[in-house]
Structure 1
Amino acid sequence: MTRYIATSAAAYEQSMGRWSRRLAEGFLAACALPPGSHVLDAGCGTGALSEALRARDAGARIAGLDLAEPYLEAARARVPGGDFRQGDLQAMPFAEGAFDAALSLLVIAFVPDPARAAHELRRVTRRGGLVAVAMWDFWGGMPSMRLFADTAAALFPSGVAWRETHYGRLVGQPGTLGQLLEGAGLRDVTEHDLPLRMDYANFDAWLAPLRGQQGIIGPYLGSLGEDERAMFEARLREAWCAGAPDGPRSFAATARMAMGRA
């Protein structure tokens, strides 16, 4: 199972939540949900997708599910009137066919059994309803994260293990999410990319949010001893600069999206 820490909504927003907000727009545009749909935000986190859906459709009925109560508190504050519950994507507390659409943004790679979660997404979606998932392409579509992972692996045995854990399943590479949905019995499955750019003012602006002990990177940084961490951050800075002065950097980032009909 992937070790994922979710204890501070504010720290998550600084590290990855801001990119979730931007990605949500393209994700929902691709879903093209009818107005007033009953929608599940599966793995809702701090509510970025639910908030974007409410902004697009004030009449949408929104439910959210997540394991992390601190994130759920943030989602409830962002989307008043939403039904946000604590629960597991692998065993959802909803009836069969309860939703017009079940959506999951940037979550499925962190579930112990993604195939089981995909079956649950189909189960809670009505016949003919939409199931859509998206995940960062960590392997080939996130160079800013590969900078971190490859530097860690070059320095430490623990870095090799960490990279293998988070890159070994290839979730987010073309074909993987579509196969996951087809395996769960979804029909008319399609895939496409959701691209954006991640812009940072300098090295510290990139690294500081990653020190927030959230997600998958924070726990790894926290596991290093003081001397190891100092060396690691020095090597990260060298990789960031790559012979140029420190300063603004813009990284392409790609999430892969798959959707199909229940």
Structure 2
Amino acid sequence: MAGYVATSAEAYERSMGRWSARLAEAMLDALALPPAAAVLDAGCGTGALSAAVAARDPDAGITGVDLSDAFVAAAQARVPGARFATGDVTRLDLPDGAFDAVLSLLVLQFVPDRAAAVAEMARVAKPGGLVAATMWDLVGGFAFLRAFADTVAATEPDGEAFRARYWGDPVGSPGRLAALLTGAGLRDVAERDILIRQDFVDFADWWGPWASGGQGIAGAFVAALPEDRRTRVEAAARRAYLSGGPDGPRSFVAVARLATGRRGA
């Protein structure tokens, strides 16, 4: 069973990138960063959060790190004034206490050692600096992807294992991110929901990026299927999307969990 795939920035933008950009804005609304802050985008992906920071404050000093060479290149092209590098968020090649704010957008669910990642985020924050992480609430607040996971769990031999891999260990569920930040020794830890709405023109708009791009978790699962099973999954997913109605627009509420904390003096 394939895991998270991050090899094509263009395909990622068609599937999840458009929603990452929207969530990045909502995250920054909640954080209110200081002016001209030194900001680390830990697990920067294609640069949605870095771009949002740069648009709000051209004087911000932005550094981004991600495992995917393709995503790092896309982020650099998107935010030319920032500094991006390929790297592992669990072993940051950055000095202690270098950043006013260390941010993570939609990353920790897919990091095998989350505690190590958050410890590194805390390490590179300045004394009193902000550490913040956001992740979709896959179990209770991400209906558009849950519909896919439940479909393959019901129809595919390895579908239940796929669902359990991500929905059985949901770091975006209430309390999980806050516990990670507290475990890293951060103070003033708090957690809250961020709600956005995700809109799709029709079934093809919902399904197409997964079927053609192979990115993320759903796209990787679909891409690994043999043709006969892929056709079966598509038909079942269509029924889930339509839910007895005609094809056309659908709108889903998406809930992300935001946790914040401060490094001690």
| Shorter-normalised TM range | over 0.9
Supply the distance in 2 between the matched residues of 1:186 and 1:246 (Cα, whole angstroms).
48
Paired letter, 1:102: V
Supply the distance in 2 between the matched residues of 1:221 and 1:93 (Cα, whole angstroms).
35
Count the aligned residue pairs.
262
- For the residue of structure 2 that corresponds to 1:127, the secondary structure is strand
Supply the distance in 2 between the matched residues of 1:143 and 1:33 (Cα, whole angstroms).
30
- Equivalent residue runs for 1:127-206 within 5 Å: 127-206=127-206
- Equivalent residue runs for 1:75-94 within 5 Å: 75-94=75-94
Measured after TM superposition, the shift of residue 3 of structure 1 is: 1.7
TM-score (norm 2): 0.97
- For the residue of structure 2 that corresponds to 1:129, the secondary structure is strand
Paired letter, 1:220: F
Paired letter, 1:226: E
Alignment match, 1:68: 68
Native 8 Å contact 1:115 1:184 kept in 2 = yes
CA RMSD of aligned residues (A): 1.1
Measured after TM superposition, the shift of residue 52 of structure 1 is: 0.4
| Percent of matched pairs sharing the same residue | 55
Supply the distance in 1 between the matched residues of 2:75 and 2:244 (Cα, whole angstroms).
42
Measured after TM superposition, the shift of residue 27 of structure 1 is: 0.6
Native 8 Å contact 2:9 2:70 kept in 1 = yes
Alignment match, 2:250: 249
Measured after TM superposition, the shift of residue 196 of structure 1 is: 0.7
Moved over 2 A (4+): none
Alignment match, 1:30: 30
Worse overlay, 111-120 or 217-226: 217-226
Paired letter, 2:102: A
Native 8 Å contact 2:2 2:221 kept in 1 = no
Alignment match, 1:213: 214
Supply the distance in 2 between the matched residues of 1:242 and 1:102 (Cα, whole angstroms).
41
Native 8 Å contact 1:44 1:50 kept in 2 = yes
Measured after TM superposition, the shift of residue 130 of structure 1 is: 0.1
Paired letter, 1:67: L
Alignment match, 1:230: 231
Native 8 Å contact 1:2 1:165 kept in 2 = no
Worse overlay, 158-167 or 2-11: 2-11
Native 8 Å contact 1:38 1:60 kept in 2 = yes
Paired letter, 1:174: P
Which residues of structure 1 form unaligned runs of 5+? Answer: none
Measured after TM superposition, the shift of residue 144 of structure 1 is: 0.7
- Equivalent residue runs for 1:47-58 within 5 Å: 47-58=47-58
Superposed CA offset, 1:141-189 (max 9, x none)? 0111111000100012200000010111121011110011001111001
Superposed CA offset, 1:28-48 (max 9, x none)? 121111101100000001111
- For the residue of structure 2 that corresponds to 1:24, the secondary structure is helix
Paired letter, 1:37: A
Supply the distance in 2 between the matched residues of 1:47 and 1:242 (Cα, whole angstroms).
35
Alignment match, 1:109: 109
Supply the distance in 2 between the matched residues of 1:15 and 1:240 (Cα, whole angstroms).
16
Paired letter, 1:173: S
Alignment match, 1:43: 43
Paired letter, 2:229: E
Superposed CA offset, 1:89-112 (max 9, x none)? 000000111111100000011111
